[in-house]
Chain A
C-alpha cells in the first residue's frame, strides 16, 4: 500500500520554494500533491510526484536535504462525515496521525487524503478490514 513521499528541508528565505519547483520543472517532474509545514526558521516541504527517484536525484544533486517517507493514500467518501469515520477508527486503536494533507485530484465520488501515521502497517490493516480503499503508489502517481 506504500506511497512514497519526498520531504525537503527549506530555510525560511525568499525564493527557496521556487528553487525546488524550478528544479522539478526542469527535470520534467509533475507534482501530484504537496504540503508545507513551517516554523519561524525553517519549513519541510512534502511532495508526491510522478517520478520519485528522478526527483530525489535532482534535488540531492542541487544540494537539498531530502528524505523519503512511506505514507498512505486513503480514499475518503466525498460527503459529510467521510473523514470523520476514518479518524474515528484510527483513534479507537490509538494510531496517531502525524500529519495529513489532501491530494489534488479526486477519484470519482471520493477525495484522496495523504496520511502519515506513527504505525503505518497497523493503520493499513485496520483501514482494509473496514473496507476503506487505499490507492497504490503506482496508481496514484499516474492519477
Chain B
C-alpha cells in the first residue's frame, strides 16, 4: 500500500517543482537564522538569490560531520530552543555526540515519513509492530514508534535487549511486523531456537531492518531463519533519523528516497563533483522541509548509487542501492557509530598506555563484537594478574562511558600489533557483510 499516494507517485516535473520551492525557502531561512550557513555561503561568494534552479545546488558548499561537531550542541539549530520539542543525538568522532533537534512540525513530518516507510515495507493499520530498535537518544526506537502510530498500526515498544522476554512477547502478543537492526534480528532467531521457539510458528509477515549495513546474503539468511520478508530502511539522525529512504516490499530492490523532503546527490568523494545517476559515489542530502535542524548538502560518507528507473510499486522516488561502504573509517557496531579516533582518545587519556592499538570487529552469533587490542608497555605492566585485568576492565569501562559501545579489551605484547609500512593497521573487520 502507498501511504501518501499524492506525493509518493508524483511525476518527476511536479516533484522537482516542489523540491525547488522548498529548497529556495530552506536556503533563505538557513542563511538568515544559522550563522554557520551564512558565513559558509558568504565565504564561497554565494547568496541564496544566486541559486536559480535545482541544478544550482551543486554550487553551494558541503556540510560535514566536522561542521556539526564544531557547532556542538545547538549551533546548527535554525529555530529558537523554545520551539524545539525533541532532542536526539548520535555519537561523534571526539566522544561528543552530534545533537539534532525537532520542532513539533518536524516530529509530525517525520511520523508521516515513517508511516510511508512502514507501508512501503508491508505494514498496514491491521498490523502489530514489534519495535526492537532502542528507545532513547538513538532515533531508531522513537522514529519507528511515531510512524507506526501515524499509520494506525499497534506498536509494542519493547526497545532493545532482554531478548528472552522479547521471544515470549512474540509468542503471546503475536506481532506481525518486526523492526530491529538486522544483526539483532538474527540474534532473536538464535535465542528463539535456544528457547525451542520456531519463527515458523510466530506471526511475522515483514521485518523492516536498518541502522547498520547488511548484505544480500544476510537478507537471505534473515528471511529464511525468521520466516518473513526482510526490508531495508535507511536514515541518519543528522538528516532525520530512520525513514529517509526505504525499500518497497514489492521489488526489494533499492531504497526509495523521500524526495519531496530530501534532495539526494551522488558526488565524487575526492573532487566533490556531482555524478550522474547510475554512478557510484558518496551520498549527499539536503533537507528541504525540516525546521529545527535543516542540513544543506550534508556529506553522509555512505557510498551508493541512485537509480531513477520506474519501480513496479508505483512510487516515482529515485532508489538508492544498499549502502556498500563508507568514505571514512567509521564502524557501525550494533547500531552505534564508532570512529577509531574515539577509541584512540580514550586510550590516550590513560597515563602510560601505549598508542598502539587495534580494533577487531567480528560477528559472533549474529551480534557485532568489538575487541580492542592494546600493547602493554613497561609503565603499566605489573607482576600481578589482577592489576592487569583491572586495567582491561578500566579501559573497557571508559570506552562504554564515552562511546556507549561494549568492547572487550585485550592486552597484547609490545610490537605485536601488525604495522604495515610503519603505519599501524587500526581496524580488522571480520564481519561478512
Tell me if chain B binds chain A: yes
Find out whether the CB atom of A39 lies under 8 angstroms from the CB atom of B413: no
Say whether B412 faces chain A, with CB atoms less than 8 Å apart: yes
Find out whether the CB atom of B385 lies under 8 angstroms from the CB atom of A10: no
Find out whether the CB atom of B377 lies under 8 angstroms from the CB atom of A65: yes
The size of the chain B interface, using a CB distance under 8 A, is: 17
List B contacts of A21 (CB < 8 A): none
With A65-B378, A66-B378, A67-B378 as given contacts, are A44 and B413 in contact (CB-CB < 8 Å)?
A: no
The SS class assigned to the A binding surface is strand
Find out whether the CB atom of B388 lies under 8 angstroms from the CB atom of A42: yes
State in angstroms the CA–CA spacing of A67 and B174 once bound together: 60
With A39-B389, A42-B388, A44-B388 as given contacts, are A69 and B414 in contact (CB-CB < 8 Å)?
A: no
List A contacts of B384 (CB < 8 A): 44, 98-99, 116
Say whether B351 faces chain A, with CB atoms less than 8 Å apart: no
Scoring A39, A41, A98 by chain B CB atoms within 10 A of each residue's CB, the highest score goes to A41
List B contacts of A42 (CB < 8 A): 388, 410-412
List A contacts of B388 (CB < 8 A): 9, 39, 42, 44
State in angstroms the CA–CA spacing of A98 and B416 once bound together: 29
Find out whether the CB atom of A46 lies under 8 angstroms from the CB atom of B383: yes
Find out whether the CB atom of B381 lies under 8 angstroms from the CB atom of A9: yes
State in angstroms the CA–CA spacing of A18 and B377 once bound together: 21
- Residues 20-38 of A at the B interface (beta carbon under 8 Å): 37-38
- Residues 372-389 of B at the A interface (beta carbon under 8 Å): 376-378, 381-385, 388-389
List A contacts of B86 (CB < 8 A): none
Closest B residue to A42 by beta carbon equals: B411
**Count of CB-CB pairs between chains A and B under 8 Å:** 53
- Residues 355-413 of B at the A interface (beta carbon under 8 Å): 376-378, 381-385, 388-389, 410-413
Range, interface on chain A: 20 to 34
With A9-B376, A39-B389, A44-B388 as given contacts, are A64 and B383 in contact (CB-CB < 8 Å)?
A: no
Say whether A81 faces chain B, with CB atoms less than 8 Å apart: no
Name the distance in Å between B298's Cβ and chain A's nearest Cβ: 41
List B contacts of A10 (CB < 8 A): 413
Provide the B408-433 mask, 1 if CB < 8 A to any CB of A, else 0: 00111111100000000000000000
Closest B residue to A6 by beta carbon equals: B383
Closest B residue to A118 by beta carbon equals: B384
Q: Apart from A37-B385, A65-B381, what are 10 other A-B pairs with CB-CB below 8 Å?
A: A9-B376, A38-B385, A42-B388, A42-B411, A44-B383, A44-B388, A46-B383, A65-B377, A65-B378, A116-B383
